[in-house]
Amino acid sequence: MSKKAYIKALANYIPEKVVTNYDFEKTLDTSHDWIVTRTGIETRHMSRDDESAYDMAMSAINNLKLQGIDLSEVDGIIVPTTTKEYIFPSTATLIQNALGLKNCFTLDLSAACSGYIYSLNTATSLIESGMCKNVLVVATEKITKDPNPEDRGTVILFGDSASVALVSAREDDGRGIIAMQMKSEVREDIISLKASGSAFPITPERMDNHEHQIFMEGSEVFKIAVTEFANSMNQVLEKAGVSLDQVALFVPHQANIRIIQYVAKKSNFPIEKVSLIIHKYGNTSASSIGLGLTEAYHEGRIKKDDYVLLTAFGGGLTWGSTLIKWA
């Protein structure tokens, strides 16, 4: 009998430090109301100076183990992140070493805010091909270090966190990850983080020009995001032969509440069936969907046989969806 990939367990890690909109009022020409109106964000969490993306990843994994989850049979680790520990060794390899796993492959995956989707879909393909039985997807982002602290259009958006999913094989009874979609397009003119790459090594001049920090034309990103969000949702549902009104829960990437509201309204999808966490955590990049999915699951919003739709859009540009029939 063929194998189907499914999400066996979920966990998160949220740093303790909370940064409110009122904190930004002290240093920027902005206000709590301005930020909430334009983004939906009220607070976000920031990691300690001595707390790295790897540290947060391990904290999320420890929270998974506290649920009684055995990770000794993990044979693949994928870490979606844009804030990895080193160029190499990969953050995934550091996790492998910490877990004492010998028969395991590892890789870090760079797809910005779509990283969780890309990683789930990659894990699914590895499992259904027979190469792996248990893949640990660990999204971790120390993204608050990347915006220009003087740019009110970006610095207010981001928060740090980690989220982990154990993706495992099961007999194919129709439940599990049932459809996937991914796409990308180069649009460095509207969103990028160039310096530190081989074409843009960090120099004092580039640091003065803030090229080592996130650049984003928010209005242009918004226009493409709302279109491709809807396209990705429709394409993955069509692949599975599932209608949108059959979806019990929609977990979108949380970048801006207006994107989510626009897509829900355009699709005639009830906002009550959306996992919304942006007001608490802001944009946590690759970890965002993991946070929303894990919170919804632990709150009892997902039941067996529910259709759960995950959709992301991120820098690159990257976007994609995963459709799950919950096992």
pTM exceeds 0.75: yes
Q: Do domains 3-173 and 177-325 have the same CATH topology?
A: yes
Q: Is the pLDDT of residue 282 over 80?
A: yes
Specify whether 212 is catalytic: no
Q: Which amino acid is at 88?
A: F
Residue 200 has pLDDT above 80, yes or no: no
Supply the mean pLDDT for the chain. 94
Q: Average pLDDT for residues 165-182, to the nearest whole number?
A: 97
Residue 113 among the catalytic residues: yes
Residue 218 has pLDDT above 80, yes or no: no
The mean pLDDT value for 25-32 works out to 96
pLDDT band at 197 (very low <50, low <70, confident <90, very high): confident
pLDDT of 303 strictly over 90: yes
Rounded distance between C-alpha atoms, residue 189 and residue 131, angstroms:
39
- Enter the tokens of residue 103: 């028969």
Residue 210 pLDDT > 80, yes or no? no
Q: What ranges do the domains of the chain cover?
A: 3-173, 177-325
Active site residue 283: yes
pLDDT at position 1 over 70: no
Quick: pLDDT tens for 83-121: 999 889 999 999 999 999 999 999 999 999 999 999 999
Please tell me which residue, 288 or 202, carries the higher pLDDT value. Answer: 288
Which whole number is the average pLDDT over 171-181? 97
239 pLDDT exceeds 80? yes
Q: Where are the alpha helices (DSSP H) in the chain?
A: 21-25, 32-39, 53-65, 91-99, 115-128, 204-208, 218-240, 257-267, 278-281, 288-298
Q: Are 161 and 287 in contact (CB under 8 A)?
A: yes
Is the Cβ–Cβ distance between 168 and 9 less than 8 Å? no
Predicted confidence (pLDDT) per residue in 32-84, tens digit: 999 999 999 999 999 999 999 999 999 999 999 999 999 999 999 999 999 99
Query: Catalytic one among 45, 113, 121, 132?
Result: 113
Q: Which of 91, 65, 60 is nearest to 160 (CA)?
A: 60
Q: How many CB atoms lie within 10 A of CB 65?
A: 14
CATH tag, 177-325: 3.40.47.10
Range 295-299 average pLDDT: 98
What confidence score (pLDDT) does residue 304 get? 98
pLDDT at 142: 97
CA distance 202 to 124: 37
In CATH, what number does 3-173 get? 3.40.47.10
